[in-house]
Structure 1
Amino acid sequence: MIDYFSNPFYKVAHTFGDFYRNMSRFVEAEQMYKQALAGREKALGPNHKSTLTTVNDLGLLYCNLGQLKEAERMYRQALAGREKVLGPNHTSTLTTVSNLGLLYCDLGQLKDAERMYKQALAGYENALGPNHILTLTTLNKLGQLYRDLGQLKEAERMYKQALDGYEKALGPNHTSTLTTVNNLGMLYHDLGQLKEAERMYEWALAGREKALGPNHTSTLTTVNGLGLLYRNLGWFKEAERIAYEQALAGYEKALGPNHTLTLTAVHNLGQLYHNLGQLEGAERMYGWALAGREKALGPNHTSTLTTVNNLGQLYHNLGQLEEAERMYEQALAGYEKALGPNHTLTLTTVNSLGLLYSDLGQLEEAERMYERALAGFEKALGPNHTSTLTAVNNLGQLYHNLGQLEQAQKAYEQALAGREKTLGPNHTSTLTTVSSLRLLYCDLGQLEEAERMYEWALTGIAKAFGPKHSVHIHSVG
């Protein structure tokens, strides 16, 4: 009979827990950790450093499982014990502090997360030096936090500092290096530097597939990022193949249908179906994502609010304008509370409300929303970011509707120049501006320019969707 409380067994049990967790076999990992914890608490006491290691690692596991409140309970137990036994500046204590920072990011408590990360970074730099792996890992986490806060240049500084250190210490294909590379891909995506984003994602994907295999959750995260990038580049068929066949199927198999990473892939597939005009599929995906996120993260988490916002966009497209307004206002209130009035997610919802008010004929309110969004995007992202250009394009449409044709022309031409440079001449967003300019030039009596826009739109939409696609027929009809 196995003595589960013997010293050799609980050491082995904890080691197997680590092994199963690293292999994404989370159910077996939990069994091993719990056996190790029971043995260590009985043999060594609840505040022994070995017991606290198991408590901390159970927190990591519950994060992997998306059980965030249970993870917080484990981390707080580990932190209290480690501060008492080892002191606040011991590296093990700082590891739990850093883990709490990551958890608070997942819970949307970003200021608490920043406080934890800064505490961990200062401790690691003091104890281990600026180039130690733990210091670099904390820099990477701070980069992610600043990205979530919309402080993109500060995020880039953190990521580049971490990447430089990882490459020197571990080489370009180590999993820690690849994590930072993947994060830089996401950041460049946010900044509208899409070719640089693609380069980072492809570097991360090749390395992760080789080091971890194609079905590891880290590999799938990069696959998911590439799917989003291809969607924004207008490569919808490639995005659908990646988003569904690889990312979502892989997450469901590894983590189950209600894990936060699975729900992110579901949400992204909803966005893709929305872009393809498959609105029933989009509503089904968004509904799945929203129900899961509300349960796992709560109604006010930023990820939940993003799904609420996208449901608003979907209802807007379906002509359900009152329901769309309700979704947008719920998302805006949540974003303003969680992230502040000038965060890019807040501004995206402001812009969406501008579109809705325009369709409702509330043009003064629409103009107020667009101008707020434009000012915020220009400050946060610069004049040539895709979000900024969307706000410029929307102002052009508003001025067109108001009969202010010269202002409309100025806005449209600014949006077209930026979109063509950033996204290319055949991207769907570029073609939207081209089609709008065609109508404006007709109203201005500039028929040669209108015909040039018509030919551009006709050629570009045929390339993007095929000659018989409904968007193509609608745009040139």
Structure 2
Amino acid sequence: MKPPAARSLTFALLSLILSVDAGRAEEGKAPAKAVEPAAAAAAAAAAAADTGAKAYDAVRSLIAAGQYDEAEKAAQALVAARSQKLGAEHPETLEARTLLAVALMCVQKLAESEQEYRTVLAGYERVLGPDHAKTLDIEVRLVAMLDTPETHAEALRRARSLVPRATRVHGPEAEQTLKVRKLLAFELAESDPAAAEQEYRALQPLCTRVFGAENEETLETRWRLAHALDKQDKTAEAEKEYREVLALGLKLYGAEGDDTLFYQACLIDVLRKQDKHEEAVALLRRQITAQTKVLGPEDSSTLTCRELLAESLTELGKPAEAEQECRQVLALEERVHGAADPHTLRVCCGLASSLSAQGKTAEALTYAQRALDGGLKTLGKEDALTRTAQGLVDELKEKAAKT
């Protein structure tokens, strides 16, 4: 299950400016209010006809409606018409290219989208200057696109440069400036979680003051602070933050909201890291009930939670309950993913552990060997799952030899 706040920062930033349903664009889902095919065709025709402001609105409406292929075609036509009529670096042409970049992103042509943003940024820097609000906006979008290891250094460099410029242009507590600072912290978290923690701590009171204590922007900042603490193994501090984030998530999204379920999963994870399995089991049962209802009993997230429940039950000295859970999950994994899938093999390891804890060594060895054979065949001997299975097999063979 992806973090809601981390469901591409790119789309979250773009939605603020374009007022499109960016979260749904990222997930490839149609928005609640879809555009009829005839209306989509009319919007595309309006963009192609280059009828002034209506052409831009037509592309935006296609994006907002989830008609991404049509939006790309309409944006391409608009760019061509504006370039021919006004020139390649006219502000209206650059605006059309910005819409094209968004449409390309929505159809997952990320490299082309990134190139469009680079072209638009270079144009605005020459026409409007590096510190103009539109220039800053485009550079923010470009930074959000640079989310690969190869582009991280550039993203961090640009983000560092953007903060003082945004502060000068918009003011230190303007929404745009706070979002730029969040972007910097986001980039820092990849390579320097301690610096990211410091930035998120500084941002938290500002976001509370500007957006409100019960606002999604504030909640995202708090989750990212907890995540930065977690990455540094500051589990007790992370637990405290995750608890407060979950409480606010429950208030904003309800017990079965996607975001709430993600926040609860984060808390469960940090509890398990501290061997607080009793509370983890209680939360896992609640999580499984909600995910079964929302996502279905065979969803990967639901099955993973059930695996974690079995592990925690074993840690609590309840291997018989863990065995029962593992057997049920194994049957589901075999049906959903197949007998040789890593998900299935992982459950075999869990089942072997629960059986071993009950002294059922021979049966445990059967499942551990199955996991090992499958891991060697599909994953290789250096894979973590294969190594875990190998350790279990060795341990169980030694145990069997002593009996």
Please give the TM-score of this superposition, normalised by the length of structure 1: 0.50
The 1:146/1:204 distance shift into structure 2, 3 A limit, reads farther
Matches within 5 A, 1:71-220: 71-105=113-147, 109-149=151-191, 151-187=192-228, 190=231, 191-192=234-235, 193-207=238-252, 220=258
Q: Residue 305 of structure 1 corresponds to which residue in structure 2?
A: none
CA distance in 1, matches of 2:347, 2:151: 28
Q: Alpha carbon RMSD of aligned pairs, Å?
A: 4.2
Q: Residue 6 of structure 1 corresponds to which residue in structure 2?
A: 51
Asked if structure 2 preserves the Cα contact closer than 8 Å seen for 1:274 and 1:314, the reply is yes
Secondary structure of the residue aligned to 1:26 is: coil
Q: Identify which of 67, 78, 81 aligns with 1:39.
A: 78
Q: What is the CA distance between 1:197 and its match in structure 2?
A: 0.1
Q: What is the CA distance between 1:205 and its match in structure 2?
A: 4.8
Q: Residue 237 of structure 1 corresponds to which residue in structure 2?
A: 285
Q: Residue 8 of structure 2 corresponds to which residue in structure 1?
A: none
The 1:129/1:358 distance shift into structure 2, 3 A limit, reads same
- 1:387-424 C-alpha deviation (Å, 9 max, x unpaired): xxxxxxxxxxxxx99xxxxxxxxxxxxxxxxxxxxxxx
Q: Identify which of 263, 278, 290 aligns with 1:225.
A: 263
- 1:187-207 C-alpha deviation (Å, 9 max, x unpaired): 455543324302113314533
| Structure 1: segments with no counterpart, 5+ residues | 250-264, 291-307, 332-348, 364-399, 402-477
CA distance in 2, matches of 1:174, 1:137: 14
Asked if structure 1 preserves the Cα contact closer than 8 Å seen for 2:189 and 2:228, the reply is yes
Q: What is the CA distance between 1:281 and its match in structure 2?
A: 3.9
Q: Residue 26 of structure 1 corresponds to which residue in structure 2?
A: 66
The 1:50/1:176 distance shift into structure 2, 3 A limit, reads farther
Q: What is the CA distance between 1:6 and its match in structure 2?
A: 0.7
CA distance in 2, matches of 1:80, 1:49: 12
CA distance in 1, matches of 2:170, 2:81: 33
Asked if structure 1 preserves the Cα contact closer than 8 Å seen for 2:223 and 2:245, the reply is yes
Please give the TM-score of this superposition, normalised by the length of structure 2: 0.58
CA distance in 1, matches of 2:130, 2:345: 46
Asked if structure 1 preserves the Cα contact closer than 8 Å seen for 2:166 and 2:176, the reply is yes
CA distance in 2, matches of 1:37, 1:327: 44
Q: What is the CA distance between 1:124 and its match in structure 2?
A: 2.0
- Give aligned pairs, total: 296
Q: Residue 14 of structure 2 corresponds to which residue in structure 1?
A: none
The 1:313/1:75 distance shift into structure 2, 3 A limit, reads farther
Asked if structure 1 preserves the Cα contact closer than 8 Å seen for 2:330 and 2:348, the reply is no
CA distance in 2, matches of 1:90, 1:69: 25
1:272 partnered with 2:310:
no
Asked if structure 1 preserves the Cα contact closer than 8 Å seen for 2:208 and 2:218, the reply is yes
Asked if structure 2 preserves the Cα contact closer than 8 Å seen for 1:185 and 1:201, the reply is no
Asked if structure 1 preserves the Cα contact closer than 8 Å seen for 2:253 and 2:259, the reply is no
CA distance in 1, matches of 2:135, 2:382: 39
Asked if structure 2 preserves the Cα contact closer than 8 Å seen for 1:17 and 1:32, the reply is yes
Q: What is the CA distance between 1:7 and its match in structure 2?
A: 0.4
The 1:179/1:353 distance shift into structure 2, 3 A limit, reads same
The 1:266/1:117 distance shift into structure 2, 3 A limit, reads farther
CA distance in 2, matches of 1:222, 1:139: 25
Secondary structure of the residue aligned to 2:147 is: helix
CA distance in 1, matches of 2:72, 2:214: 30
Question: What letter is aligned with 1:224?
Answer: F
Question: What letter is aligned with 2:195?
Answer: E
The 1:154/1:358 distance shift into structure 2, 3 A limit, reads same
Asked if structure 2 preserves the Cα contact closer than 8 Å seen for 1:37 and 1:51, the reply is no
Q: What is the CA distance between 1:158 and its match in structure 2?
A: 1.8
Q: What is the CA distance between 1:169 and its match in structure 2?
A: 2.0
Asked if structure 2 preserves the Cα contact closer than 8 Å seen for 1:171 and 1:177, the reply is yes
Q: Residue 95 of structure 2 corresponds to which residue in structure 1?
A: 53
Identity of aligned residues (%): 18
Q: What is the CA distance between 1:315 and its match in structure 2?
A: 6.9
The 1:103/1:222 distance shift into structure 2, 3 A limit, reads farther
The 1:100/1:268 distance shift into structure 2, 3 A limit, reads farther
CA distance in 1, matches of 2:88, 2:292: 45
Asked if structure 1 preserves the Cα contact closer than 8 Å seen for 2:104 and 2:113, the reply is yes
